[in-house]
Structure 1
Amino acid sequence: MTDTPYAAHERLVAPCRPRQAIWRVLLGLVIVTVTLFVGYSVVLRMLTATGSQELALSFITGDSQFGMLLLLGCFGFMTLGVVLAARQLQRRGLQSVTGDYRQMVRQFWQVVRLLFLLMLAVFLLPPYDFGAPLTPNLSLGSWLALLPLSLLAVLIQVSAEEILFRGYLQQSLAARFRSPLVWMLVPSILFAIGHYSPEQAGENALLIVGLTGLFGLLMADITARAGTLGPAIALHFANNVVALLIVGFPDMLSGLALYLTPFDMSDTGTLRLWLLVDLIMMVCAWLVARIAMRR
């Protein structure tokens, strides 16, 4: 692997090689799932104990500011699960999963600043709406006041997903299987399945799964090239800042969005057009990340 574009990936994979048995990977996924489920259940039970069903429901749907912040924050339990699995099954710490912290932060900043310049350019160019006027969701003052917490919550959420899928799972599979078709594709498929939501997306559900799977493959590629999770976290962070904090959907995870789209996820006409736009932006962002890493 040392003479390939993915040579840097070996720094992440090597610590897994002494304990590369598949049962360790599967048991690790069980540990992560149980940790996330228990953490989520405890928080939900505490909210229910307050006697406010509305508060508990907002935590499930993410349609309030507090509920959405808490929901995103609970992804920290996913990171905790990975820490437990990596330590108990592979005898390694979190920095072994993420890559060197300093290099990860440096690569994150290199990528994220160019991505936000790209997004700013896109927002300044026509068209200036989503086919109809956007619906205000929060006042600008409230949104700005919440923004530091909102950004932190999104960072917790995207970091957790990258630590699990492009970190623990991708590295563990790469230690066992040489072919990128295995260690890139399997985590991406699992990542995509986790975004299958026919209740909200209707006939668009499979299209969203396919687009999410492609996003996972691009994150797998950029991680293998970088040797840390920094660029993948930056890409995921920029994507979710737009989707969760700037323009959200009215029927799903809308609590922190400044604006809402004039259509929901099940709109087969309008949404599919914007999924194409999203695909183009996704590839452009990936290319920008690759350029940023060469600087």
Structure 2
Amino acid sequence: MQSDYSAHEAYIRPARPRAELWRLVVGLCMAMVIYLGLIWAMQALALALLSDDGYFQFNLHIRNGRSPEGALYLLTSFGFLTIALAAVAQQLHRRNPLSLLGSPGLALQQGWAVFKAVALLYLVLSLLPPYDLLPENAAQRAVGPWIALLPLALPALLIQTSAEELLFRGYIQQQLAARFASRWVWMLVPAALFGLMHYRADAGANTWILIGWAAAFSIAASDLTARAGTLGPAIALHFVSNAVAILFVSQDEALSGLALFAAPVDMADPATLRPLLLLDLCVLFISWLAARLALRR
């Protein structure tokens, strides 16, 4: 089946005037320096404003995101990455930072269409047998406080997923596609980097399987971006996927502070993790198909 990537050309056009490879490398370094600098500035501000015990509690919360406060901080701190990428686009590439997103109106329209399709898919899948997928060790948070946190958790999750898409599909994919015509470059390089970002030292022999799953997600998001010509669909797909894992059923202790159900999984146990990842890969494939169908309407 031939891919329709005609919209991709318009999407990458703003990156063409300054598409040198060295600019991409320097831009990534600049973005990381700005991002880490803003993170350290927040640490310094917390140190200046909080008592010794308050600063200790602050660091305890943000260390792993197991509390609501820690999870919210970690998710919203990705906004610093968005600021960093905007600065790099403006100063190094001399282009409008919104060009990383594509047409804002179209991105919103496409993103909403994909969000509805993928969210409906997850809802349907949750209603299919077997009806109780939660393990016996699953712990449920009180529903009232969980609902009360949603007005904060949903925007925080959108900040996190948007920032990652702006980096990998917006900045890296755009710059590579403006320099290299082959999709093997502008799809697989971001996929490799996105996969390596999900490296887990505690996963043991499962480490490369986790990296492979993340790389597969990246390829799906890159394909949707190329078909749509905006980041809207990729952000929507990423948002729904992360919402399920962070806000509803957390199988990882990290960033579990906002989840309705906590069902921790031993990341190093192949017998437990690999069937779950295989199931997730199937759901990802179906979600990608649902997103493509939504874009055609």
Q: Which TM-score tier does this pair reach, normalised by the shorter chain?
A: over 0.9
- 5+ unaligned residues in a row in structure 1: which ranges? none
Compute the displacement of 1:289 (Å): 0.2
In 2, the alpha carbon distance for the partners of 1:266 and 1:43 equals: 33
Q: Does 1:271 align with 2:273?
A: yes
Output aligned runs, 1:230-245, within 5 Å. Answer: 230-245=232-247
- 5+ unaligned residues in a row in structure 2: which ranges? none
In 2, the alpha carbon distance for the partners of 1:257 and 1:46 equals: 28
- Classify 1:294/1:113 alpha carbon distance in 2 versus 1 (closer, same or farther; 3 Å): same
| Segment drifting more, 93-102 vs 130-139 | 130-139
Residue identity matched to 2:41: V
1:42 maps to: 41
Q: Secondary structure at the match of 2:92?
A: helix
Compute the displacement of 1:38 (Å): 1.3
- How many residues of Structure 1 are paired with residues of Structure 2 in the alignment? 292
CA RMSD of aligned residues (A): 1.6
In 1, the alpha carbon distance for the partners of 2:59 and 2:86 equals: 28
In 1, the alpha carbon distance for the partners of 2:72 and 2:171 equals: 25
In 2, the alpha carbon distance for the partners of 1:231 and 1:41 equals: 32
Contact 1:132/1:262 (<8 A) preserved? no
**Identity value in percent:** 46
Q: Does 1:86 align with 2:89?
A: yes
1:13 maps to: 12
Residue identity matched to 2:81: M
- Classify 1:221/1:250 alpha carbon distance in 2 versus 1 (closer, same or farther; 3 Å): closer
Compute the displacement of 1:160 (Å): 0.3
2:120 maps to: 117
1:226 maps to: 228
1:284 maps to: 286
In 1, the alpha carbon distance for the partners of 2:265 and 2:133 equals: 9
Residue identity matched to 1:109: W
1:293 maps to: 295
Q: Secondary structure at the match of 1:203?
A: helix
Contact 2:139/2:263 (<8 A) preserved? no
Q: Does 1:158 align with 2:161?
A: yes
TM-score between both structures, scaled by the size of structure 1: 0.95
Compute the displacement of 1:262 (Å): 4.8
2:217 maps to: 215
Contact 1:251/1:264 (<8 A) preserved? no
Given candidates 35, 57, 60, the residue that maps to 1:57 is: 60
Q: Secondary structure at the match of 2:181?
A: coil
Compute the displacement of 1:132 (Å): 2.3
Contact 1:130/1:262 (<8 A) preserved? no
Q: Does 1:195 align with 2:198?
A: yes
Compute the displacement of 1:130 (Å): 4.0
CA deviation profile, 1:173-230 (whole Å, cap 9, x unmatched): 111111111111111111111110113x232221100000011011111100000000
Compute the displacement of 1:250 (Å): 4.7
TM-score between both structures, scaled by the size of structure 2: 0.94
